[in-house]
Amino acid sequence: MNVLKSLSVAVILCSVSTFACAQFVVTPAAQSPLPKAIAKAKSNVKITLPFIDDFSDYEGYPKDALWETAGGVFVNANYGVNPPTLGVATLDAINNMGLLYDEANITTFNADTLTSKSIRLDSVFLPNARKIGVEDSVYLSFYVQPGGGYGQMWERLGTTPSKNDSILLEFYDSNNDSWEWAWQMNGMSLDSLYAADSVFFRYVLIPVTDERYFNSDFRFRFRNFATLEQSTNAAFMSNCDQWNIDYVYLNANRSLSDSTRRDLAFVSKAVSLLKDYQSMPSRQFRQDAVAASLQTTITNLDSVESGSHYMYFVLDNNGVQTYAYDGGFENISPFIATHQYQTYNPHANPPVPNTAFADLDTSNWASYSVIHTIKPGVGQDSRPENDTIKFIQRFEDFFAYDDGSAEQGIGVEASPNSHFAVSYALNVSDTLTAVDIYFNSTYHNANQKPFYICVWNDEGNLPKEVIYRSEQLTPQTEGLNNFNRYLLSQPLILSGRFYVSVQSKTGAFLSIGFDQNHDASSKILAFVSNQWEQCFVKGAAMIRPYFGHQATVGLTSTEQNTDSYRIYPNPATHYLNIESVKENPTDEIGLFNVMGRKVYGAKFSNQIDVSGFPNGVYILTIRNNANQVSQHKVIISH
């Protein structure tokens, strides 16, 4: 009997910040909106004071204009917990390709490095050019946070550096071509940091007091040392030991009391205007899918109260404004004094009208830009880069609860016949053609185990029966946060609620990407010991069902199996000819339209009359006796 049971057992903290939640296992994972940086060669270009980067206006690898190398470091808006401003640079245990370092071990290994470009520390040039030295009070400041989140175990974000881990700051001595120690912090939990400092990020201010550094080739770098847990199963080992750096600032004429900026800024990234999904198919959209309000996090880094003006607006595909919201002016208290963000509701929780996408053409793909701005009421802001955030609201051919970045990995506890399932709901019948899944990279490729994709129908908000089961598949990991697409052997027409599950062939654990910045835990189920259990771990599994022909457009020649068949003419006007290398083929032919619906099906024929079909793009499928399917994009044009 299938019984839904809420998980109420205790969370068990395991090695490398891995924890198990009854039948659900959550493991460390790599995360980045873009592929991690490939280390860049040293440049002869030198920069001048001030040096400042708060990582708020870009993601991926650190800016070439400021940073010389970024060995494994990535800039993101996902890992930091309440950073000073939006965006952090994360140092962790994975290399440029999102894989654990080859030298990773259970003792200590050198992991990521972030090195500044050469800085002219012999002179300043604004407002007037002059030489500088120790007497000019040069300070480097930054904020640092140990990863791993805080609070309840099932709500934590990322992984905590162990007590044997550390992060270092070093200064470059160009006279001796050596790096000198300047500061260090040993591994600790964010809970411990907050208990000690009552802040989520520790502010570090370091004077530059040695004459050796006051030359035209000053540099500084952050490095972290990491460890792997000896007792942890290799399948659970992935990215770990994270540190977040923010608001790096080097300048002259500073002091030990220099801890504030005239800076209004966003702290969190822009969010979806939809209640449940980050993205959804346009034809499935209805006005009741829109959220009633949004949550924005705005901070004042000054030492005094400041007036602020908040707005957001929506632009369509063509850049035409379809909606604008003006939250007006309101004061915001200084964060350093109150440890509070903007509480004024029209700024912190702006409303969203259910007509926000009233002009959406549900027969076509669409995307909207949702742009938020915050400006000071009077005067200039010192850092306009963090005054604007943007979210791209996509209406394409897939459902996504996740934002495309994995802060952890999640999967079902290893046991026979277990399933890890995610539920989705259709407003109109549609044709499922593929499933996108992001599998985490794990230690020694321990995640490479055979699995099946299953699709279930619904009864009483629980999976009822399997209506599709794939052939045996193998996880593919093609770069950090890059989904792999698994095509269904045949399109599947669905309606109402359905479920997509991953089943391990061997009953072994599989680590699926888990986005912990968006909570879709109510949509996640596990089938273990003949019953369904609902997940209570906050997050969204990175499994995306794909609908319509676009899932098969752009197939490789291997997937299309073009050597076995010759299809012509393409585009076709009256007849579509099919030639097979087999003498008497007994294959089955199917033709599917742009919506993924089958418009023709028959035993193999050398010719199909397409004169009665509307112009457009179609997918021709050919299934052989071994149940193998090749797919071919064809165009009909009369």
436 and 357 within one domain: no
Q: Is the peptide bond before 376 cis (omega within 30 degrees of 0)?
A: no
**Does residue 259 surpass a pLDDT of 60?**
yes
Give the dihedral sign, CA 68/71/77/82. Answer: negative
76 and 207 within one domain: yes
Task: Give a three-class secondary structure readout of 552-582.
Answer: CCCCCHHHHCCCCEEEECCCECCEEEEEECC
**Does residue 355 surpass a pLDDT of 80?**
yes
Q: Is residue 406 part of a domain?
A: no
421 and 389 within one domain: no
CA distance 52 to 284: 45
Q: Is residue 165 part of a domain?
A: yes
Q: Where are the beta strands (DSSP E) in 117-219?
A: 119-120, 123-124, 130-131, 139-146, 166-173, 178-186, 202-207
**Does residue 559 surpass a pLDDT of 50?**
no
326 and 228 within one domain: no
Q: What is the pLDDT of residues 405-421, one digit of tens each?
A: 888 888 766 677 889 99
Residue 104 burial (10 A CB sphere; 0-12, 13-18, 19+):
buried
Q: What is the pLDDT of residues 384-393, one digit of tens each?
A: 999 999 999 9
Q: Is residue 498 part of a domain?
A: yes
Q: What is the reported pLDDT for 434?
A: 93
393: CB partners within 8 A, 6+ apart: 272, 273, 274, 279, 314, 357, 367, 368, 369, 370
Q: What is the pLDDT of residues 509-540, one digit of tens each?
A: 888 999 999 999 999 999 887 889 998 889 99
CA distance 334 to 340: 8
Q: Is residue 274 part of a domain?
A: no
**Does residue 542 surpass a pLDDT of 80?**
yes
**Does residue 373 surpass a pLDDT of 50?**
yes
- Domain span including residue 495: 4-8+414-551
166 and 143 within one domain: yes
* CATH at 624: 2.60.40.3080
562 and 536 within one domain: no
**Does residue 597 surpass a pLDDT of 80?**
no
Q: Is residue 273 part of a domain?
A: no
Out of 522, 551, 580, a domain closes at 551
Out of 551, 566, 588, a domain closes at 551
Mean pLDDT check: name the lowest of 188-192, 286-290, 332-336, 478-482: 478-482
293 and 218 within one domain: no
CA distance 609 to 588: 16
Nearest to 115 by CA among 217, 215, 207, 187: 217
Q: What is the pLDDT of residues 110-148, one digit of tens each?
A: 899 999 999 999 999 988 899 999 999 999 999 999 998
* CATH at 388: 2.60.40
616 and 561 within one domain: yes
239 and 107 within one domain: yes
Q: What is the pLDDT of residues 203-253, one digit of tens each?
A: 999 999 999 999 999 999 999 999 887 655 544 555 678 999 999 999 999
453 and 366 within one domain: no
CB 406 within 8 A of CB 440: yes
Q: What is the reported pLDDT for 9?
A: 24
Q: What is the reported pLDDT for 44?
A: 60
Average pLDDT, the chain: 85
Out of 513, 534, 551, a domain closes at 551
Cα 185-238-145 angle, rounded to 5 deg: 25
191 and 57 within one domain: yes
Overall number of domains in the chain: 4
* CATH at 40: 2.60.120.260
457 and 349 within one domain: no
Q: What is the pLDDT of residues 38-59, one digit of tens each?
A: 334 444 668 999 999 999 999 9
Percent of the chain with pLDDT over 90: 57
Mean pLDDT of 287-313: 96
Q: Is residue 270 part of a domain?
A: no
Q: Is residue 219 part of a domain?
A: yes
Nearest to 482 by CA among 88, 60, 32: 32
Q: What is the CA radius of gyration of the chain?
A: 27
Percent of the chain with pLDDT over 70: 86
CA distance 417 to 506: 9
Q: Is residue 266 part of a domain?
A: no
Q: What is the reported pLDDT for 279?
A: 97
Q: What is the reported pLDDT for 332?
A: 97
